[in-house]
Amino acid sequence: MFKNKKTLFSQIGLFLAILGPGIITGSVDNDAGGITTYSVAAAVYGYNLIWTLIPSFIVLVVIQEMNARMGIVTGKGLADLIRENAGVKITFFIFIGLLIADVGNTTTEFAGVAGSMEVFGVSKYISVPIVGFLIWFLVVKGTYKIAERIFLLFSVSLLMYVVSALMGKPHWGEIGHAIIHPQLEINTHSISMIIGIIGTTIAPWMQFYMQSSVIEKGLKMKQYKYTLIDIVVGCVATVVVAFFIMVACASTLHENGIQINEAKDAALALKPLAGEFASQLFAFGLFIASVFSATILPLATAFYVCEAFGFEAGIDKKWDEAKEFYILYTGILVVGAAIILIPNAPLIAISLWTQVINGMLLPVVLVCMILLVNNKKIMGEYVNKPVNNIIGWSAVTVLVVLSLILLLLPIFTNGN
């Protein structure tokens, strides 16, 4: 991906060729920010927030299906379509937001790298610069494709959370009960937790990523059925991993009343409760997820910004040909890594503000998407069916309401 020359996937065999965009997007979804949110939510509320994964799953499937359909029909990226149909000003707003949010997201990924390596006794002043440089080198030297495959393989390691969870000996009856009848006090903190979970599961930049992957694979409407399977598999994988992270943390940390702030704390806290092995598995999973997302995020962001504003982009271009692209890419990576290295950096504030921007951006991007996907000029006969629109618009409404709450929350909580 991110090459303008499309690669030849058709050789690998039909199913494997089609399988991918949804699954990769799903794996990137469970990044350091996601793992942190799930762990913290479960540590505080036990099994009582697991139900949020169900509506998240539905919305995730609906949105990604729209992206895939748009990519297949138009062969154009979401950034292209928004620029061509919504004009410069809206595009500018979206991409400035996306840029700032993704610098924040990248920072969170490096926090994940730092935290997970500290579990293994490696200082962040060693791990972050090394990982940052390796990522930069990997991408600029054009071996990105290899990297993506290695990561895809490693993303299987996210299933380690299943092992971690089982070692914590969860109470399955209680989990089932909590999903159907969650014991939840409605207050600002619990609502912000819910928003956090949904926000981290459906991040705005992923819509751009999904659509580009579909185009890069050169999928066709005839293969729509397989694409849908791919999307559902990817979303199921995302939600299943999230589920087990929450179970792992709920059955150990919550039951012992341990509160945490970071995913790293979860890994450390698992040690006495579920054993050293479970703790290291958790940390290793966090490390892989962080590096995977830290590779893709800055690259994807630089690519979409350039796509929207008409700068040359792509890792197959030389530095002179695509200056803006490389400067952006390097900049996002360097800033993200540098913030982690500042002693006493306000990481919690950064991750909060990143979520706020994500939350504001998501409805805007979704409204653009729904308008585009209903535009006959663009989509022809493949415009949204009423069912898609009902789910789509209700998702937008819920997200707008949630985002508003998220925006207003700090005002109320500060007033207290």
Partner 1 sequence: MNSVTTFYLSRVIGQKVFDTHNQSIGVVKDLLVDPESSTHSSGHPVVNGIKIKRSGKITFYSFQNFHIEKINGNTKVICDQLIELSTDQINSNLYLAEAVLDNQIVDINGRKLVRVNDVRLVTIVNDTFAVAVDIGMEGLLRRIGIAKPMKFAFSLFHASIPAKFILWEDVETIDSSSLNIKLSKSYKKLQTLHPSDLADIIEDLGRKASAQVFSALDDERAADVMEELETETQIHILESLSIEKGADVLDKMPADEVADILDALEDERAEQLLNEMEKDTSQEVRELLVYPDHTVGSIMSSEVLSFNQNMTIEEVLIELRAQKPEMETLYNLFVIDENEILLATFSIRDVVISPPDVKINQIMKPSPVHLRDYQKINEVAEIVSKYNLLAIPVVDKKNVLKGMVVIDDVIEDLIRKRRTNK
Q: Which residues bind partner 1 (CB under 8 A)?
A: 4-12, 73-76, 80, 83-84, 87-89, 92, 143-146, 218, 220, 222, 309-310, 312, 377
Cα-based distances in Å from 128 to 23, 235, 348: 27, 30, 18
Q: Which is nearer to partner 1, 5 or 385 (CB)?
A: 5
Q: Which is nearer to partner 1, 142 or 346 (CB)?
A: 142
Least Cα distance to 217 among 111, 102, 358, 68 occurs for 68
CB of 209 to partner 1, least distance (A): 18
CB of 324 to partner 1, least distance (A): 9
CB of 32 to partner 1, least distance (A): 26
CB of 367 to partner 1, least distance (A): 18
Cα-based distances in Å from 272 to 115, 161, 388: 18, 17, 47
Non-local CB neighbours of 171 within 8 Å, separated by 6+ positions: 251
Which tokens sit at 50? 């697991």
CB of 377 to partner 1, least distance (A): 6
Q: Which is nearer to partner 1, 16 or 401 (CB)?
A: 16
Cα-based distances in Å from 376 to 186, 202, 259: 43, 26, 52
Least Cα distance to 347 among 363, 357, 336, 358 occurs for 336
CB of 413 to partner 1, least distance (A): 35
Q: Which is nearer to partner 1, 83 or 264 (CB)?
A: 83
Q: Which is nearer to partner 1, 79 or 231 (CB)?
A: 79
Q: Is 43:253 a contact under the CB 8 Å cutoff?
A: yes
C-alpha to C-alpha distance for 187 and 318, rounded to whole angstroms: 53
Which tokens sit at 103? 């610098």
Q: Which is nearer to partner 1, 29 or 216 (CB)?
A: 216
